[in-house]
């Protein structure tokens, strides 16, 4: 029997390989999808796969991740209770690429993933696999065996599976271009202060440079396309944004998160580039959209975030929201000047050819319309509130 393991090279997916052999899978392939995780992890996945006798495939999906998934996160101002959805937006792409690998290198009797039964990723990955490789059975061995982390380590030691670093690593980390998530160990206690060692992409505000950094981000139709007049593609701009924002202590996030299954968990993230680019995008959107449009867009953003958190990339509502968002983004063109300083982010200015703003009309010093024409409009303002106040007085 043949199995394809969606393989990160970490503890959970590594122990799946010998465990699959025990239940009769004799030909095992692995697929790692590169969405910007550390090169060392990618290399170690290949090494471990070959030590375990698996036929390994590596798919570089960084450009696609940046230009289709991270760019959507910018357009929708991605925010789930303060989390820019960094892990969540990568799962549908990982599942799609793994499904395509299953179809081109198969036939396989199973596609296997390493998600536990407690998290969100099992929903996201399995939905994506069923969507793109329908009919191939899916196995989740950690969940099937109800294994704890220490049971996984004990099993790996018993069968001699290569997990050396995983034993000493206390944190469970998921990393891609859009951010890093850090969980586990003492961080599970919501009252435990995150130690400095969990952060890899961001300086602490105290250690950030004493001089502020100012930069101008240029957007074209909702997408950042240049930074300080240097044109870049989405992958380059996100990589660069991560570097400058991280260097200035921006993007540390510590939240209580409500998982899909109803569990409340403590989560830490580092998403410097996401925080910088989304803040600039929001600033520009607020210049080019009408008040009622802004209110509605906020509802659309929240719905999108909820669908994406649940892994439903491709849901009919997802498509409808995307069409609405694309229509607005056509006007989100212009530039935003930001100041990055010791963990704080300030919008210094914004400009757009599509601004719904007229300085002359808004100004105290210009008379572009006859102010006296307002009298009637003001007189009838608050009619219902007034009626209500009178009613209360009568009682
Ligand atoms: N809580 C986040 C989410 O569900 C991050 C999950 C990180 N996954 C991990 N295997 N460490 O999107």
For residue range 145-170, what is the model confidence (pLDDT) as tens digits? 999 988 999 999 999 999 876 667 78
Ligand 1 touching residue 12 (CB < 6 A): no
More confident of the two residues 298 and 162: 298
pLDDT value of position 166: 66
Does 172 contact ligand 1 (Cβ within 6 A)?
yes
Confidence of residue 124 (pLDDT cuts 50, 70, 90): very high
Count the neighbouring beta carbons within 10 Å of the beta carbon of residue 189. 9
Task: Identify the pLDDT of residue 271.
Answer: 98
Nearest to 179 by CA among 269, 79, 280, 70: 269
Average pLDDT (310-314) is 95
Distance 310 CA to ligand 1 centre (A): 12
- Residue 344, beta-bridge partner list: 341
Q: What is the mean pLDDT of the chain?
A: 96
Which residue's C-alpha comes closest to atom 6 of ligand 1? 87
Residues 287/293/295/297 CA torsion (nearest 10 deg): -90
363 vs 190, higher pLDDT:
190
What mean pLDDT comes out for the span 358-378?
Answer: 85
Q: Pairing mode, if any, of strands 55-60 and 27-34?
A: parallel
Nearest-CA residue for ligand 1 atom 10 is: 174
* DSSP symbol at 80: B
Q: Is the CB of 175 under 6 A from ligand 1?
A: no
Average pLDDT over residues 51-56: 97
314 or 342: which leads in pLDDT: 342
pLDDT at 165 (0 to 100): 66
**Structure token pair of residue 328:** 């607005």
120 within ligand 1 shell (Cβ under 6 A): yes
| C-alpha of residue 121 to centroid of ligand 1, in Å | 7
With tokens 């580092």, the residue in question is: 270
Please write the tens of the pLDDT for every residue from 127-142. 999 999 999 999 999 9
pLDDT of residue 123: 98
Cβ atoms < 10 Å from Cβ of 364? 5
Residue 296 has pLDDT above 70, yes or no: yes
Tell whether ligand 1 has an atom less than 6 A from the beta carbon of residue 181. yes
Among 22-31, 275-284, 349-358, 362-371, the range scoring the smallest mean pLDDT is: 362-371
Interhelix angle for 272-288 vs 291-309, to 10°?
150
Q: Which domains does the chain have, with CATH numbers?
A: 2-162 (3.40.50.620), 204-289+331-351 (3.90.1260.10)
Give the ligand 1 atom nearest the CA of 174. Answer: 11
C-beta 268 within 6 A of ligand 1: no
CA dist 201 and 243 (Å) reads: 8
Q: In terms of Cα–Cα distance, which of 44, 48, 38, 59 is closest to 17?
A: 48
Catalytic positions, written as ranges: 12, 91, 121, 172
Tell me the CA–centroid distance for residue 369 and ligand 1, in Å.
Answer: 54
Judged by average pLDDT, the poorest of 90-94, 145-149, 300-304, 369-373 is 369-373
- Taking the C-alpha atoms of residue 187 and residue 198, their distance in angstroms, rounded to an integer, is 10
Least confident residue range of 190-194, 220-224, 346-350, 363-367: 363-367
Q: Is the pLDDT of residue 78 over 90?
A: yes
State which ligand 1 atom lies nearest to the alpha carbon of 257. 1
Judge whether residue 87 has pLDDT over 90.
Answer: yes
Q: Which atom of ligand 1 is nearest to the CA of 183?
A: 11
Higher pLDDT, 172 or 56: 56
| Dihedral pair phi/psi, residue 17, rounded to 5° | -65, -55
């Amino acid at each position: 029997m043949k199995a394809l393991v969606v393989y990160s090279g970490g503890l959970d997916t590594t122990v799946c390989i010998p465990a699959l052999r025990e239940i009769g899978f004799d030909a095992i392939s692995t697929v790692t999808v590169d969405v910007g995780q550390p090169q060392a992890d990618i290399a170690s996945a290949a090494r471990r796969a070959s030590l375990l006798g698996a036929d390994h495939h590596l798919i570089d999906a960084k450009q696609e991740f940046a230009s289709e998934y991270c760019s959507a996160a910018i357009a929708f101002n991605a925010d789930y209770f303060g989390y820019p959805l960094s892990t969540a937006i990568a799962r549908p792409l990982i599942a799609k690429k793994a499904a395509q690998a299953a179809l081109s290198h198969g036939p396989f009797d199973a596609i296997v993933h390493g998600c536990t039964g407690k998290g969100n990723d099992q929903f996201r990955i399995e939905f994506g696999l069923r969507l793109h490789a329908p009919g191939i059975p899916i196995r989740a061995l950690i969940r099937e065996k109800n294994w704890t982390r220490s049971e996984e380590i004990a099993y790996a030691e018993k069968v001699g599976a290569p997990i050396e670093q995983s034993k000493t690593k206390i944190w469970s980390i998921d990393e891609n271009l859009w951010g890093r998530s850090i969980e586990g160990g003492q961080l599970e206690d919501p009252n435990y202060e995150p130690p400095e060692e969990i952060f890899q992409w961001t300086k602490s505000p105290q250690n950030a440079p004493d001089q502020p950094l100012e930069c101008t981000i240029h957007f074209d139709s909702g997408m950042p396309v240049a930074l300080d007049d240097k044109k870049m593609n989405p992958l380059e701009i996100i990589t660069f944004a991560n570097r400058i924002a991280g260097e200035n202590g921006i993007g540390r996030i510590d939240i209580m998160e409500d998982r899909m299954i109803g569990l409340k968990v403590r989560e830490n993230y580092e998403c410097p580039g996401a925080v910088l680019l989304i803040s600039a995008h929001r600033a520009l959107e607020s210049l080019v959209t009408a008040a009622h449009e802004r209110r509605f867009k906020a509802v659309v953003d929240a719905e999108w975030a909820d669908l994406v958190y649940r892994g439903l990339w491709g849901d009919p509502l997802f498509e409808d929201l995307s069409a609405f968002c694309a229509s607005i983004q056509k006007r989100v063109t212009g530039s935003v000047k930001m100041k990055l300083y010791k963990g704080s982010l300030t919008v210094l200015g914004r400009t757009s050819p599509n601004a719904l703003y007229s300085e002359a009309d808004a100004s105290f010093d210009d008379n572009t319309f006859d102010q006296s024409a307002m009298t009637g409009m003001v007189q009838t303002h608050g009619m219902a509130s007034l009626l209500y106040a009178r009613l209360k007085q009568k009682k």
